[in-house]
Structure 1
Amino acid sequence: MEPCVLTEDDETVRIVTLNRPSRRNAIDLELRIVLAEALEASMADRGVRAIVLTGAGGTFCSGGDISTMRRQSPEETRPRAQAAQRVIRAIWNGPKPVVAAVEGYAFGAGTALAIACDRVVAASDAVFSTAFTGVGLAGDMGIFASLPARVGLAVARQLMLLPRRLPADDALRLGLADAVAEPGKALESALADARRVAEGPPLALAGIKAMYAAWPAAPQDVLEREVELQASLFDTADFAEGVAAFHERRPAVFRGE
């Protein structure tokens, strides 16, 4: 039986692929657990500088696997919901930037999973939809934080209350996607972006992620955290390398030290 999540390394970029193409990569409980483990392992691997998250078979993720759902008590449901949130915590709390490569459908939890990432590259024929209310649910996988952060509170509320299918160009205009690629080229484009990110200073990138993970925050708190982050980065080998490379007019080689 094929694993529900595949991983492959492209130099310092790890590609993590949802691998249930017969179900359009719908998320069941096993996939939630395995995906969280794959992301956590990638975040902990010093050889990995960036992560690309994608789906097999021409579809990113069609949402939760409704065929595995049934009415059940909150006590029974809570572990399933927590397993979904573990995936999002791995993306948000981990130090490595994550780029989503979206082909085909990103519905419900698929949209939530994509927009939890640091960058979203969508094929021009991809389609997004919140879609949770169609089965009587409100939403999970961090969508109540990530959606308003991307599109604003008013637009997020309307997209949740009145779900509709958003083609990639509309997703780009609203802020759900950050770039649009030719059909079938989302992974290639996302990989190119991830390779560029992977060349950056790992400690600074981790700091940037941590700053945004705490958003929204009080402006005065942001100022204090900026000071602490910048002060810590001044005392790193990467900073010294960056300054030396600037003076020597050559590309910097960052090592995360």
Structure 2
Amino acid sequence: MSEQVLVDTAERIRTISFNRPDKKNALTRAMYSAAAEAIEDGDRDPAVRVIILTGEGGIFTAGNDIVDFMEQPPAMDGNEVSPVQHFMQALLNAKKPVIAAVDGLAIGIGVTLLMHCDLVYCSDRSSFKTPFVDLALAPEYGSSQTMPRAFGHVVAAELLLLGATWSAERAAQTGLVGAVTTPDALMETVRNAARILAAKAPDALAKAKALMRRAPGPLTDRIALEGRQFAAQLRSPEFAEAAAAFMERRAPDFDKLG
């Protein structure tokens, strides 16, 4: 892994940290590749249950390193997979829960990627900005769909058209982040959430995430799909352990299921 992307795995939680604070954690091709590999490896590893994305030095990320980006801009034509595409595909394809811990600046793709995380927490000194139109660029990686769907068109336009900077308070108000903490409390808040997720039935958790991430369709189709998966889980070793733990008044132990 690149020294500018730190990877730590403990308590079934993989923490991936952008580590270039002298450059506001601006992301280079090497950093994208390292982070993508860390996500994919964690998603394959049965010892990892949850993935955390964060940044070192009181900064999440200032987005793309412009010099590095301009040296080899991603083609986005489907003929090759650039490092940034590799990273976003790894995030999009992750079956395990991904939590973002935002402290300080989150700019450009640093905001876009949050829409593809499952939980987002930030410190009260965080700020969020997507200056795509300001740079004569278009929105990226589904943000023109995910943000209007999440916030409503006129609120999403504050970010995508006006290029407004959102405070932590505004981010929580709109639903971009789930909770705001002090900087000192951020990582422990995030790790507590990760520990709760890591203790849950991993297959059931993956199925619930996949259902939530599934493209909208007729409600009757979704109910039918949920019903099939619910019935399958009733026959699973995970449910047998959860039911036994409930009857025995103990915490379930899904690790023993392998």
TM over 0.5: yes
**In 1, Cα distance between the equivalents of 2:110 and 2:73?**
24
**In 1, Cα distance between the equivalents of 2:76 and 2:225?**
39
Secondary structure of the structure 1 residue equivalent to 2:172: helix
Secondary structure of the structure 1 residue equivalent to 2:183: coil
Structure 2 runs not aligned, ≥5 long:
none
Partner of 1:44: 44
- Residue 162 in 1 paired to residue 166 in 2? no
What are the Cα deviations for residues 30-63 of structure 1, in whole angstroms up to 9, with x where unaligned? 2222211110001000000111110111101111
1:166-181 equivalences under 5 Å are 166-181=166-181
Q: Which moved more, 1:91-100 or 1:200-209?
A: 91-100
Q: Which moved more, 1:96-105 or 1:131-140?
A: 131-140
Partner of 2:17: 17
Offset of residue 100 of structure 1: 0.4
Partner of 1:63: 63
**In 1, Cα distance between the equivalents of 2:80 and 2:61?**
18
Q: Could you tell me which amino acid in structure 1 is paired with residue 62 of structure 2? A: S
What are the Cα deviations for residues 145-174 of structure 1, in whole angstroms up to 9, with x where unaligned? 432343234422342111111111110000
Structure 1: 4+ residue segments shifted above 3 A: 69-83
**In 1, Cα distance between the equivalents of 2:101 and 2:163?**
22
What are the Cα deviations for residues 229-254 of structure 1, in whole angstroms up to 9, with x where unaligned? 21221121110011111111111112
CA RMSD across the alignment: 2.4
Is the contact between residue 35 and residue 87 of structure 1 (CA under 8 Å) also seen in structure 2? yes
**In 1, Cα distance between the equivalents of 2:73 and 2:41?**
32
What are the Cα deviations for residues 189-233 of structure 1, in whole angstroms up to 9, with x where unaligned? 111111111111101110011112213222122122212221221
TM-score in terms of structure 2 length = 0.90
Offset of residue 73 of structure 1: 8.2
What are the Cα deviations for residues 102-148 of structure 1, in whole angstroms up to 9, with x where unaligned? 00000111111223210001001100111222211112234234323
Offset of residue 74 of structure 1: 7.7
**In 1, Cα distance between the equivalents of 2:113 and 2:2?**
22
Q: Could you tell me which amino acid in structure 2 is paired with residue 222 of structure 1? A: R
Structure 1 runs not aligned, ≥5 long:
none
**In 1, Cα distance between the equivalents of 2:153 and 2:89?**
22
TM-score in terms of structure 1 length = 0.91
**In 1, Cα distance between the equivalents of 2:15 and 2:74?**
34
CA change 1:180–1:73 in 2 (3 A) is closer
**In 2, Cα distance between the equivalents of 1:85 and 1:73?**
11
**In 2, Cα distance between the equivalents of 1:133 and 1:80?**
25
**In 2, Cα distance between the equivalents of 1:229 and 1:200?**
17
Secondary structure of the structure 2 residue equivalent to 1:64: coil
Is the contact between residue 29 and residue 80 of structure 1 (CA under 8 Å) also seen in structure 2? no
**In 2, Cα distance between the equivalents of 1:81 and 1:112?**
18
Partner of 1:134: 134
Secondary structure of the structure 2 residue equivalent to 1:15: strand
Partner of 1:104: 104
Is the contact between residue 54 and residue 102 of structure 2 (CA under 8 Å) also seen in structure 1? yes
Offset of residue 82 of structure 1: 4.7
CA change 1:148–1:85 in 2 (3 A) is farther
- Residue 205 in 1 paired to residue 205 in 2? yes
